[in-house]
Amino acid sequence: MQILITGANRGIGEAMAASYRAQGHTVLGTARDGSADVTLDVADPGSIRALADVVEGPLDLLVCNAGVYLDKGHTIEKGYRADVWDQSFAVNVTGVFLVIQALLPKLRQAQAGKIAIISSQMGSDERAPGGSYAYRASKAAALNLGRNLATDLKGEGIAVGIYHPGWVRTDMGGEAAEISVAEAAEGLLARFDDLSVAKTGCFETWDGRPHAF
């Protein structure tokens, strides 16, 4: 398979890319700082438009993993500046859609292409403990985006899955998180393998449990 993973220079993205390469697949990992196979800033529409020229031939799996969490620890009184909202949605929502849009012809070439969107349980309506408003709202929007893309692309045989990667010990998740990067990556790869048109639009956890919307 040919696979493209955004945000593949560290954490879960890097681990997923390494696992797929070890299995013998062709992997293109992206990073905005040039530290992966392809330089891509998902918040830059021009950078995204250039991406389609980099991918040669059919794309079997697109993993939209790049994301930011800019409002961690913010308070209602002093946090959540307008630029935090702008950047959160530019990366976590708009960037996801524009990458999918740019690579849709490559996914169609694969005839049974798959799209995996890394969202979060923090975007679920069922989980609302407060705080992290920009991040939660952007991940909720990514979840909604994936659900609607699943409807529109089902007739073409392109499956879309949305996933909560777990609370992972990364720079974003922190050292107190529940699972390792390796555990998250292994679980997510199993979810992507299980994804099909019959399951399109699913929202699942890294270990295969259906997540409430």
Domains of the chain: 2-205 (3.40.50.720)
The arrangement of strands across the sheet holding 26-31 comes to 38-39, 26-31, 2-5, 61-64, 114-118, 159-164, 203-205
User: What would the mean pLDDT of 184-207 be, rounded to a whole number?
Assistant: 96
Q: What confidence tier does 176 reach under pLDDT thresholds 50, 70, 90?
A: low
- Supply the pLDDT for residue 124: 85
Residue 186, both tokens:
């292994």
- Supply the pLDDT for residue 46: 96
Q: Which residues contact 167 (CB under 8 A, 6 or more apart)?
A: 173, 177, 178, 179
Q: Do 211 and 127 form a contact (C-beta atoms < 8 A)?
A: no
| Residue 58 half-sphere exposure toward CB, CA atoms < 13 A | 11
Nearest CA-CA partner of 168 in 207, 114, 126: 207
What value does the mean pLDDT of the chain take?
93
Question: 11-15, 117-121, 169-173, 202-206: which has the minimum mean pLDDT?
Answer: 169-173
Please say if the pLDDT value at position 171 is more than 80: no
Please say if the pLDDT value at position 170 is more than 80: no
Residue type, 111: Q
- 7/58 Cα distance (integer angstroms): 21
The 10s digit of each residue's pLDDT in 96-130 is: 999 999 999 999 999 899 999 999 988 888 778 88
- Supply the pLDDT for residue 180: 87
Compare 89 and 171 and report the one with higher pLDDT. Answer: 89
Question: 42-51, 67-76, 166-175: which has the minimum mean pLDDT?
Answer: 166-175
- Which is it for strands 159-164 and 26-31: parallel, antiparallel or unpaired? unpaired
- Supply the pLDDT for residue 71: 96
DSSP track, 97-158: HHHHHHHHHHHHHTSS-EEEEE--GGG-TT---S--HHHHHHHHHHHHHHHHHHHHHGGGT-
Is 20 among the catalytic positions? no
- Supply the pLDDT for residue 179: 80
- Bridge partners of residue 5, in order along the sequence: 29, 63
Among 20, 69, 133, 135, which one carries the catalytic annotation?
135
Residue 94, both tokens:
């708009």
- 63/4 Cα distance (integer angstroms): 6
Residue type, 183: E
Residue 19, both tokens:
């696992």
The predicted model scores a pTM of 0.94
Please say if the pLDDT value at position 210 is more than 80: yes
Please say if the pLDDT value at position 178 is more than 80: no
- Supply the pLDDT for residue 58: 97
Q: Which residues contact 44 (CB under 8 A, 6 or more apart)?
A: none
> With pLDDT > 70 as the criterion, what percentage of the chain qualifies?
96
